[in-house]
A and B are shown apart, each in its own frame.
Chain A
């Protein structure tokens, strides 16, 4: 078995332990915060008998360990329970809202990679020149301004004043959503061959994704620059200069790849953190994603939905980290051959 596969198996096993811990923690926390979920679900005017009946139906009258055991048994069957709030299976709710959030996060991640890394590379290559200074100021502003503030600023400037982008939503009201295949409007409209919906969904996606990506772009640009500058000081770069290689070749081929390892590691954490920031951006842009759903179910003390949502977010976080670790291993042979321990 190759060291890489061994690492992957270890990581997946550790992830299952983490998920079990998260589910246990959330299960308990959701039940000990003040408020009777049955009473909240039925409303303040429900009779005590009605509230008691719902408690029995949802096993809320049982001790927490018994409730947890029931829950684990259901999860093992692929059932995340039913939402008291929407009265639908939590799995169905998550399936409805998760693609919107993932689409937003993937778009933001793409922007981080496609804008942040080139800006960092160019800043390092032209360090201490005007472009580098502008890049630094831009990065600091990007990192230090919260995503929801970016959301409001971008919305005000580009959607409200200049009317270049829609203020909110995922698709124009006049357009029907594309036939659901992946739940990602961009991909589904491509699969449906619907150019109009594709353009409109990209149009709606641009501002929220950019707002979400701004901090990541800034951080990635700074980290790429710092890492590249560090690499530029290495003897093999000096040797490349001595051989008279072109600057672009030195930058892109010799300095960039080793500098990418720390960037990728941070990028993984950044992308996972987008899940948390997505709530604020989803709220500003009326984006019907999982983060907004998560907050709503917490406010309604919707037990199964809270645990289900947190589990999915935790799983996404773990998957993102494992993916980045694998990517780093691919980029860095020392890590690949040492089985992830270099």
Chain B
């Protein structure tokens, strides 16, 4: 009897507690991605690595919206005096540890990034002579020379909690700094972002939780927790989304899976329209594409409409859209007056007639596509069909990324045509175009066209030196047009990352053009996710 009484009283208590608990359900935003390796923001340069950095950390400036390259963030403002950039910091920013952010943290973060020499450090390499904390709210960068893209590059300088991180440093090769907290940050965070890192298991999953002390506040509609899974197979992702166990897919799903999920009534499509362009680089130093007329013939022979259809996700949505040059429409410096590229066989034949290479033997070209990106093979086959029809003799070869990056650093081993998707790491067009088209830049994987054009060089240098926003915009608009004229590449299409999401949430930066940011990845801020239930 006593036992029954106990059970009854406990049942009654449990019933009371259940009813007394507020009707608050924790919201979890679940998505998948390709694995980032580490959670250290000074190392991650891939998509999800950048997304983690943007959510866990803050930078002096952030990508802007509606054509603005950068906007104030931690820095309320800045002054540029020659090579000196002086930033004033907000006084109310707290790290996840509770420490208040100061200029010392900015100095520490910059020094750490450069000392590790990984991730986004190349954006600043040899550009900064010194960085000093003038006072707790003021930090000064002195550059080694005129370098206007510096401001855009700061988007990729996450500010770390120096006191907290140094308390977690291990022995290492950086003298007093030990390992600069490298081992710790691999799986933890030391940021001030809207979300905190709860756990990070490379290859498996990352869990984040809302940071209530975020200086901009986190809307109540934003998810309380975020769970990112890595390395899931498309079939598994499809089942998870279809059964309501995952909210958003990655952008890397095969088109047929994307199409199947997009066709469901409980899903919608989202697009990250950054600065990604499909470049079909032409080797301008090797016959027959060292002749501008031959390059222009190929430019007009390429079937852009079919290339866009190949990226079709649904009848209405494609991951690709027409391009008008090397600068995407949401990027700073985009020249709106340039016509969109389209196939024009008549013009192609006219240019081919002017090309100095006349015989079939002289018109042999090899096309290389990256084997890790199966979609590129379809584009390679399309090119072959288009260019063979025009009178070229084309061969197609697939190359693994690692091999390709070695091949293209030398003119002779660079293929006549190579396909690469490239997006700018910062909201500044210099971050992509200088390495790609300046003859002063050492050859890298980006410069497979090996362009030598004094006019383009002049504009690229002018863009680096000019700090006035309006004048810089004009320079890059001219450069956009100039690169169309000298055709170092076929600018096949602008490419968006397309995701499928359940109708359980909205993400305005991926759905509303007026709310998109000037840099890819920045739109996937979990504090901007609106959970609907």
A residues lining the B interface (CB < 8 Å):
34-36, 39-50, 53-54, 85-88, 93, 96-97, 152, 155-156, 159-160, 163, 167-169, 173, 283-286, 288, 292-293, 296, 300-301
Let me know if B182 is at the binding interface, CB within 8 A: yes
Q: Establish whether residues A34 and B123, one from each chain, have CB atoms under 8 Å apart when the complex forms.
A: no
10 A-B residue pairs with Cβ-Cβ distance under 8 Å, sorted by A, are: A34-B406, A35-B401, A39-B402, A45-B122, A50-B117, A50-B122, A168-B232, A168-B236, A284-B236, A292-B231
Report A145 CB to chain B, min CB distance, Å: 16
Let me know if B20 is at the binding interface, CB within 8 A: no
Q: Establish whether residues A50 and B240, one from each chain, have CB atoms under 8 Å apart when the complex forms.
A: no
Q: Establish whether residues A284 and B400, one from each chain, have CB atoms under 8 Å apart when the complex forms.
A: no
Q: Which of B35, B239, B400 contacts A156 (CB 8 A)?
A: B239
Q: Nearest 5 CB-CB pairs, A to B?
A: A35-B402, A288-B204, A34-B403, A50-B117, A45-B122
Q: Which of B344-352, B440-448, B517-525 contacts A (4 or more CB under 8 A)?
A: B440-448
Chain B 35-53: CB-based contact to A (< 8 A → 1; otherwise 0): 1011010010100000000
**Chain A residues near B229 (CB, 8 Å)?**
168-169, 286
Q: Establish whether residues A87 and B40, one from each chain, have CB atoms under 8 Å apart when the complex forms.
A: yes
Q: Establish whether residues B240 and A293, one from each chain, have CB atoms under 8 Å apart when the complex forms.
A: no
Q: Answer whether A288 and B203 are a contact pair too, CB < 8 Å, given A34-B403, A50-B125.
A: yes
- Number of A-B residue pairs having CB atoms within 8 Å of each other in the complex: 115
Report B516 CB to chain A, min CB distance, Å: 24
Chain B 7-51: CB-based contact to A (< 8 A → 1; otherwise 0): 000000000000000000000101000010110100101000000
Q: Which of B43, B227, B239, B402 contacts A36 (CB 8 A)?
A: B402
B residues lining the A interface (CB < 8 Å):
28, 30, 35, 37-38, 40, 43, 45, 117-123, 125-126, 182-183, 186, 201-205, 227, 229, 231-233, 235-236, 239-240, 242-243, 245, 400-403, 405-406, 425, 435, 442, 444-446
Q: How far is the CA of A207 from the CA of B442 in the complex (A)?
A: 53
Q: Establish whether residues A285 and B203, one from each chain, have CB atoms under 8 Å apart when the complex forms.
A: no
**Chain A residues near B233 (CB, 8 Å)?**
283-284, 286
**Chain A residues near B45 (CB, 8 Å)?**
43, 45
Q: Establish whether residues A35 and B235, one from each chain, have CB atoms under 8 Å apart when the complex forms.
A: no
**Chain B residues near A173 (CB, 8 Å)?**
28, 30, 227
For B118, B401, B402, B435, the residue with the greatest tally of chain A CB atoms inside 10 Å of its CB is: B402
Report A47 CB to chain B, min CB distance, Å: 5
| Main secondary structure on B side of the interface with A | loop
Q: Establish whether residues B123 and A296, one from each chain, have CB atoms under 8 Å apart when the complex forms.
A: no
Q: Which of A41, A86, A163, A167 contacts B240 (CB 8 A)?
A: A167
Report A275 CB to chain B, min CB distance, Å: 17
**Chain B residues near A85 (CB, 8 Å)?**
37, 202
**Chain B residues near A87 (CB, 8 Å)?**
37-38, 40, 43, 182-183, 186
Q: Establish whether residues A283 and B38, one from each chain, have CB atoms under 8 Å apart when the complex forms.
A: no
Nearest CB in chain A to that of B35: its residue: A296
**Chain A residues near B240 (CB, 8 Å)?**
167-168
Q: Establish whether residues A160 and B402, one from each chain, have CB atoms under 8 Å apart when the complex forms.
A: no
**Chain B residues near A54 (CB, 8 Å)?**
117
Q: How far is the CA of A50 from the CA of B242 in the complex (A)?
A: 45
**Chain A residues near B402 (CB, 8 Å)?**
34-36, 39-40, 301
Q: Establish whether residues A293 and B406, one from each chain, have CB atoms under 8 Å apart when the complex forms.
A: no
Report A297 CB to chain B, min CB distance, Å: 9
Q: Establish whether residues A48 and B442, one from each chain, have CB atoms under 8 Å apart when the complex forms.
A: yes
Q: How far is the CA of A176 from the CA of B379 in the complex (A)?
A: 46
Q: Establish whether residues B243 and A160, one from each chain, have CB atoms under 8 Å apart when the complex forms.
A: yes
**Chain B residues near A301 (CB, 8 Å)?**
402
Q: How far is the CA of A43 from the CA of B37 in the complex (A)?
A: 13
Q: Which of B28, B201, B205, B425 contacts A45 (CB 8 A)?
A: B425
Q: How far is the CA of A152 from the CA of B30 in the complex (A)?
A: 22
Q: How far is the CA of A39 from the CA of B45 in the complex (A)?
A: 13
Q: Establish whether residues A160 and B232, one from each chain, have CB atoms under 8 Å apart when the complex forms.
A: no
Q: Establish whether residues B125 and A47, one from each chain, have CB atoms under 8 Å apart when the complex forms.
A: yes
For A34, A39, A163, the residue with the greatest tally of chain B CB atoms inside 10 Å of its CB is: A34
**Chain A residues near B125 (CB, 8 Å)?**
47, 49-50
Q: Which of B204, B239, B425 contacts A160 (CB 8 A)?
A: B239
Q: Answer whether A86 and B37 are a contact pair too, CB < 8 Å, given A35-B402, A46-B122, A284-B236.
A: yes
Nearest CB in chain B to that of A33: its residue: B402
For B35, B183, B203, B445, the residue with the greatest tally of chain A CB atoms inside 10 Å of its CB is: B203
For A87, A169, A285, A300, the residue with the greatest tally of chain B CB atoms inside 10 Å of its CB is: A87
**Chain A residues near B435 (CB, 8 Å)?**
45
For B28, B30, B242, B405, the residue with the greatest tally of chain A CB atoms inside 10 Å of its CB is: B405
Q: Establish whether residues B118 and A42, one from each chain, have CB atoms under 8 Å apart when the complex forms.
A: yes
Q: Establish whether residues B118 and A46, one from each chain, have CB atoms under 8 Å apart when the complex forms.
A: yes
Nearest CB in chain B to that of A156: its residue: B239
**Chain B residues near A53 (CB, 8 Å)?**
117
Report A98 CB to chain B, min CB distance, Å: 12
Q: Establish whether residues B405 and A44, one from each chain, have CB atoms under 8 Å apart when the complex forms.
A: yes
Q: How far is the CA of A88 from the CA of B43 in the complex (A)?
A: 13
**Chain B residues near A97 (CB, 8 Å)?**
203
Q: How far is the CA of A50 from the CA of B28 in the complex (A)?
A: 40
Nearest CB in chain B to that of A152: its residue: B235
